[in-house]
Structure formats: structure tokens, C-alpha cells
Amino acid sequence: MRVAVSLPSGRTVQLSATRRVAELKAAAEKAFGQSFLRLLTANGISLNPQTLLADTGLRDGDTLSAVSCPPRVAAAGKAFAMWCPNGGCIAWGDPVAGGDCSSVAEQLWPVKEVQGSYAGFAALRSDGRVTCWGDVGVETELPSTLRDIQQLQSTNFAYATLDRQGRVYCWGDSDCGGDAGHLALENVATLASAGGAFAAICHDGSVLTWGLEDGGGDSSHVSHQLVKVQHIWGSLGAFAALRSDGQLVTWGDQQHGGDSSHVQEALRDVMHVATTDSAFAALCREGDAARVVAWGHAEYGGDTSTVERRLSSGVRQITGSLGAFAAVLVDGGVVCWGHSMMGNVAGWKWKWRWMVYDGICCFSSGVSQ
């Protein structure tokens, strides 16, 4: 079979294949010099690489579209899983802890999202169903009624899903959020997770929490502040909730960022929050620029005193690793702080150069000491 394959830029090649879609995909990636391409029919249907060409309905001379589908990676305690959104999934690492997904490989297409717990993974498929693998310590045979799933979250030992009707279903270690107890988890808009607890934002802006009480599962002492909440971020043992008025509310283990009282006055006009395992960093609007406010464990990013002068020039973006933060500055520089073994490359200067190649936005970096 011979078909035409086109990129969004209009670049087109003529390709041949005889057996599976995978042959066309490999030929397209070689011809265009790009990896991780996804092939779409004229009707926008994504083709599974393992499907026989005879079963796709393609005819000789048809035209397919190829779109770049950069892979994403999720981590469990001893394994990794990599998937392309609306594509397939592979895993590696400790086979018992999620590094082997061969037993469910046929169910892992197309995958929308993957979440890792300490000892396994759960994948949200594009059809709204969930597939689990690895030693999660609980039964992974999910009820047949679990469908139309819109969101999937995980703690270290539990999972929670949110369906189209706003209902939450959770499973796993009950202490870490696998059992919501007496909570009526309905009318939920979105979910968030910490290391051992879940938080649910309801459609009215209120918040429900469950799991480890001292790890964010008990928000009773700040419940009166949790109104008109728009977004929640979780560290290993705490949560931070952003309200519609730009104010931030925190709770959970103080050593993991659950107490922001000493920086509360500075937490105004919050736009975004990044996390490490034990700290938070908020990007706050200030005029035409933005400033950073951090709290939590000082060694893991909760203290910006050593880089405060550099951050004062204006910050564009912040992100966190397990124990350090990186901020992209307005002038293109990058500033890091936190644990030196977890991404804090103090003393290095970075500059980013943006490029566009075949319709794909990418960047290169220059590093000097």
C-alpha cells in the first residue's frame, strides 16, 4: 500500500507499507527526521501502530496527517512509564513495581495520562477507562461501572478518579487516600494529591480532603478559608489552595510546606505555584513582572535568601524537582535554589535560545560557569 503523509507545515512524502501501521509510522519518522509521530486519518482518527493495514480501512493513494506527539514520563517508586498522549505506553524498571506492563499492553492504547504510585501505575485511556499494573498492594481489578473518567490522581499508595458526572472513586491504601470514608464525593470539579492525601475542589469552590490527617488529609482548621478555590497543589505532605481573589491557603505538615503564615503577607496576587517534596514556591504578580515567594523546608527550596537579588529582576516561570526549584527570568536567565543534589546548580549561568523547526517550538541552551 502506498499513501501520502503530510506534516502540519504542508511538507508531504509518499510512503509504502505492506503489513502494519507501525511500518508507515517508522517510514514517516525516518523521512521527516522526527521521532514520536502520530498518524491520523482524514477523519482525525489516530492509528494504532500495531493495527494491521488491512483493518484500518485505508486505501492505496489515501492521505494521512502526521503530528508530533512528544512523549511524557511518569515515575513510580522503582519504575518509569512513558507514553504519548493519545498513543501507546511502555514501562521499564522493577517488573513487580510497574516496570513491566506487558500483561495489560493491549489495553494501553490510546493513553491519555499515566499516574504512578510507589509500586505501580494507573493509566487513563482516551475511552474514559482506567488500566492498572504493578504491585499497588491492592486489587487492581476495577469495577466495570468505572467509566467516563476525566481525571486521574495518585498518592504514594492510592489512586482516585473523577468521572464526567463529578463523582470520585478511590482505591488503594486507606491511610493514604484509598478510602474516602464518610465523605460524599459528588459534584466535584477537579482533584489534587499530595504524598498521602487527596483534595477535591467542588463546583461551588469548597474543598474536601481525605487521607493522612497530618499530611494534608485534614483541612478542618482552614475549612472556613477554603472558599471559591480555583486550584490546589500538593507537596509530599501538604497542600496549597489558590482562591479566586488571588489569596493562598495552606495546610498539612509544616516540614512539607503546610504552614505559610510567615510569608502570608507576601502571598498576594498569586498566579502559579510550584512544588518540591517539602516546599512551595509561588509566582506572584507585581506590576508588569512577577516575584517569587517560597516556604517550607529551607534545604529543599523553602528559602530563597541566597538568590533573592537575582529573582528581583522579574520571573517568567518556576518549576520544582524533588528538592530544588528553577526559575526562568524575564531576561532569559535561569536561577536555581534548594538541595544541591536535586537540581540546584548554583553558580551556573543559563541562557535559552528559542527556535522553530518544522512547526515545532523547541529550545537550545548555552551554559557557562
Q: Is 133 exposed, middle or buried (0-12, 13-18, 19+ CB in 10 A)?
A: buried
Do 207 and 194 meet the contact criterion of CB atoms below 8 Å apart? no
Q: What is the largest CA-CA distance in the chain?
A: 68
Contacts of 169 (CB under 8 A, 6+ apart): 143, 146, 160, 161, 163
- What is the structure's pLDDT at 358? 33
Short-list 277, 286, 282, CA closest to 252: 277
Can you tell me the distance from the alpha carbon of 114 to that of 181, in angstroms, rounded to the nearest whole number? 25
Do 71 and 12 meet the contact criterion of CB atoms below 8 Å apart? no
- What is the structure's pLDDT at 343? 64
Distances in whole angstroms, Cα of residue 99 to Cα of each of 74, 103, 116, 263: 11, 11, 11, 41
Can you tell me the distance from the alpha carbon of 348 to that of 336, in angstroms, rounded to the nearest whole number? 9
- What is the structure's pLDDT at 351? 45
- What is the structure's pLDDT at 168? 96
- What is the structure's pLDDT at 109? 86
- What is the structure's pLDDT at 357? 33
The residues of the chain scoring below 50 in pLDDT are: 137-139, 347-369
- What is the structure's pLDDT at 341? 75
- Sign of the dihedral defined by the CA atoms of residues 139, 144, 145, 150, in that order: positive
Can you tell me the distance from the alpha carbon of 335 to that of 354, in angstroms, rounded to the nearest whole number? 18
Give the pTM. 0.82
